[in-house]
């Protein structure tokens, strides 16, 4: 976890996110969204697998951040993790965030997909 000068917390995740690695991610997410930072970015560009446990951790952290007046964004969705977000209806909408190479390319905020009526 890295806190930038502008107060943004960037959590870079690599490899697999599942029930075996999730507890470490939960600790990092909890520390980030419970602290003084208003913006937390989870960089998943080096993640090749994420299961529902990992997705649940991110959603719970986002809810906590929102309740505290902050935000949690996901950066670097690609490959299998991006497909998992799509299948679960968590199609991210593009947001703007100036990351200057610090987990800031293609930043997306988690939002439930809108279903056609």
Q: What is the pLDDT of residue 66?
A: 87
Q: What is the pLDDT of residue 1?
A: 64
pTM of the model: 0.77
Domains in the chain (CATH in brackets) are 2-109 (3.30.750.24)
pLDDT tens for the chain, 117 residues: list them: 666 667 789 999 999 999 999 999 999 999 999 888 788 999 989 999 999 999 999 999 988 998 999 888 888 888 998 888 878 777 554 233 444 444 444 444 444 444 444
Query: Would you say 55 and 87 are in contact if contact means Cβ atoms under 8 Å apart?
Result: no
């Amino acid at each position: 976890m890295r806190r930038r000068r502008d107060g943004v917390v960037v959590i870079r995740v690599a490899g697999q996110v599942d029930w075996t690695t999730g507890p470490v991610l939960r600790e990092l997410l909890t520390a980030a969204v419970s602290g003084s930072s208003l913006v937390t970015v989870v960089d998943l560009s080096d993640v090749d697998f994420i299961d529902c446990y990992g997705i649940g951790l991110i959603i719970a952290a986002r809810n906590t951040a929102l309740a505290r007046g902050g935000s949690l964004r996901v950066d670097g969705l690609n490959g299998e993790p991006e497909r998992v977000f799509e299948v679960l209806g968590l199609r991210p909408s593009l947001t703007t965030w100036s990351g200057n190479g610090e987990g800031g390319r293609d930043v997306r905020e988690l939002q439930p997909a809108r279903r056609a009526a």
